[in-house]
Structure 1
Amino acid sequence: MEHYNTAALPARAKRPKDKASVEAAVKIVTQNVIHALDGHQCVGIDELNAKITALVDGINAAEPFRGNATSRRALFDQFERDVLTALPTTPWQRTEWKRAKVAPNFHIRVHNVHYSVPHQLVGRTVDVRITGDSLAVFDAGQRVATHQLARVRGVYVTDTDHIPANMGDTRGLWTSEYFLREAAKIGPATRQVIFELIETKAIPAQAYQACRNVLNMGKHANKPILEEACRRLVSTDGARRAVSYTAVKNMMAAVRKDTSTRPTGTDLSTDLPTSRPTRDVPTPTARDTRGAYLGGAAQFSLENLTKKGSA
């Protein structure tokens, strides 16, 4: 409605007279257009539209109208045509509103795409308007950023004007130094992975979310696994693997699998006693068999079974 500079005035509930003229127009069209075309066959949509246009023109030109020697079209030309405004020059486009919080890398996430905003807005919640192929960001009613809508999921759309000019003022912001420092606490291989993640981006801030996700995988006693996974990724032995969050995640799964299936080095045969245990010394098994009758395969020979049966 705003696009066409109009407003809708809905009818009240249970007040049929509020829309009496509309209902009457529906009845007139039904009788003079729909019923008139009953049984008529058209060879195409153009022929059908031409028939409907001719019938509607007949309704608008019919005289008399409401007991006066005039027509609907004459009244429209006399009272309404001159007060109508022109249609907008641009067609209407669907508008969608969203809310998003500005991350420490001064980007917001909308439909799995990251869009930059001025870094001063880090931590604030902003309004996002999507109209056609344009995305606008508003803070307190003021537009602070405009971007072309991206169609590829996971990409970053960054305006260089939004990057902090003075990186000395980094309160509340993610920085390359911060992630490198945190990665060094885990190990040199993890720091190398974070360094390569940042180096692959033309704008370092576009790598910060991936850096954060990698470091988060080292929480809860997983630091040794993360460091080993990163060591394998950056190892110069064999083919060099590309560094990414997904690569680190998959390598950590491989490290866990290798750890769980690795032999312990214990030879079970050396732990078994060389002589038959006595009743006073329990057998080191999971079950208590001190009161059980123990015997080998010879106990089930035909000779022993015959002796037992004759006893």
Structure 2
Amino acid sequence: MGADGGGTKTRAVCIDEKKRILARFETGASNPYSVGFVKSAGLLSEFISEINEKYKLSGAVLGIAGCSNINTAAKLKNKIKSRFNFPIEIKGDVETAHYGALAGKEGALLIIGTGAVVFLNTGKEFIKIGGYGKAIGDEGGAYSIARKGFNAISKLIDGRLKDDVLHELAEELDVLQRDKLITFVNAENIARYAGRFIECASGGSKFCMRAIDEEAAEVAALINTALKKYSGGSLPIVFSGGLSNNLFYKRLIKSKIKKINGLLFKNARYTPEYGAALIALKFFKETR
């Protein structure tokens, strides 16, 4: 069994020894930093139990958001493993996503979601570049884009900025007053509005275009750093994450990445949960 768990949902697949998918499953959020360790462990334990009743499991690997830190992974694993008589491993969701996207081979996985991170497999080691979280800086991701957008709206309110396209969005969101903007930003998950600010950029907002261009340059810098750390020839790279589906932003990033020689763009081979299942299968075969 392999699973991919985040802040909104957890998906899993069961595969046999020939790597054929037997079934797919889905349940709620399992990021321990979103729902708490007790709730995360409880949900995952019940999820594994439900699947184990239908398909007698030989092993399970769970790729869970927030568990790239080995101490976090160990803490969650210790709350789960005692209930089962087969091996269970907890890994960061980026690692299992990488394994699925590149079928366990060398290369880079760029994830552009709330934040932006590159996970690089050099063949000798795994290296994480970026992805430090919004408090430190997750440039290139949805939160950083949205923060710049709402900051620009604050300048509209003060009269420090004039931008007709952005003004229209601010009117639509009803945030053209100081108190309304502050209340809105504090109450909302602002990252979900990144796409709207990208629309403003494509619609003629000079400020948003400049901001989006800066964010795209940050993503290109992540890739450039990965390329410098890779010595295996052309670097295979897969785009992933919610913002990778935004065509305008993706084209802007690629226009900057194309200035970097030695990249080989690829489509994801498998889903993150299937990648986790492949790791579980490999682990089971090696320990049996």
More helix by share: 2
Same fold by TM-score greater than 0.5: no
Q: TM-score by structure 2 length?
A: 0.24
More strand by share: 2
Q: TM-score by structure 1 length?
A: 0.23
Which of 1 and 2 has greater Rg? 1
Higher relative contact order (CA 8 A, sep 6+): 2
